[in-house]
Amino acid sequence: LTLSKLESGAFDEFRGEDLDLTELVQEVVEDADFEAKAKGKAVELVWSDNCTMVGNDHLLRSAIENVVRNAVNYTDDGTSVRVSVLSDNGTAKILIGDRGGGVPDAELKNLFIPFYRLGEARDRKTGGTGLGLAIARRAVVAHKGTISARNVSGGLEVEIVLNCSKNGEAAAH
């Protein structure tokens, strides 16, 4: 239902509210870390610049949660999903990286397509429905941002870029 609303443009003209993006990401990381620990994994916020913006809390939280939960599902046992918020010149980059071996380069562009699931290991029994990253993409686009994925040493990193209304001092975690 959320994807359908996003695809139809129902959220394109939503009324935004002032949001503390840094706080939102910290809350998502804390919740995801709690869930990840039960699976022998962790989620850690490794760097967080201060950033506020105008946006829809529910949509942004959903987008970031979907990406983080996906990373937890695919990161290797005993490893951490690493999350950072980097603010520079009016933009915020949210980086979410796992240690799950990455995906074939030719498949990167398909990760955000609705119902797309990579390979047999990521079917409906072991993976999800293929909607989480598609919902994340549409929620980010509704905020005039971008989302992309790339392979990094030992895993996959998803980058969400959003406009900030204010930039502040960094806070290492």
The segment with the largest mean pLDDT, out of 40-44, 58-62, 114-118, is 40-44
Which pLDDT band holds residue 171 (cuts at 50, 70, 90)? very low
Which pLDDT band holds residue 8 (cuts at 50, 70, 90)? low
Write out the two tokens for 72: 């937890």
What are the angstrom distances between the C-alpha of 74 and each of 6, 57, 99?
A: 26, 26, 8
Average pLDDT over residues 65-82: 95
Write down the pLDDT at residue 112. Answer: 84
Which pLDDT band holds residue 87 (cuts at 50, 70, 90)? very high
Which pLDDT band holds residue 118 (cuts at 50, 70, 90)? low
Query: Residue 60: is its pLDDT beyond 70?
Result: yes
**Of 155, 41, 160, which is closest to residue 103 (Cα–Cα)?**
155
104/111 Cα distance (integer angstroms): 11
104/108 Cα distance (integer angstroms): 7
173/161 Cα distance (integer angstroms): 20
Say if residues 147 and 108 touch (Cβ distance below 8 Å).
Answer: no
Provide the percentage of residues in the chain whose pLDDT is more than 70: 77
Write down the pLDDT at residue 32. Answer: 97
Question: Is the torsion defined by CA of 130, 132, 133, 139 positive or negative?
Answer: positive
Write down the pLDDT at residue 9. Answer: 54
Average pLDDT over residues 79-94: 95
Span of 9-13, 23-27, 42-46, 57-61 with lowest mean pLDDT:
9-13
Which pLDDT band holds residue 17 (cuts at 50, 70, 90)? confident
Which pLDDT band holds residue 168 (cuts at 50, 70, 90)? very low
More confident residue, 96 or 3: 96
- CA within 13 Å, CB half, 59: 28
86/91 Cα distance (integer angstroms): 8
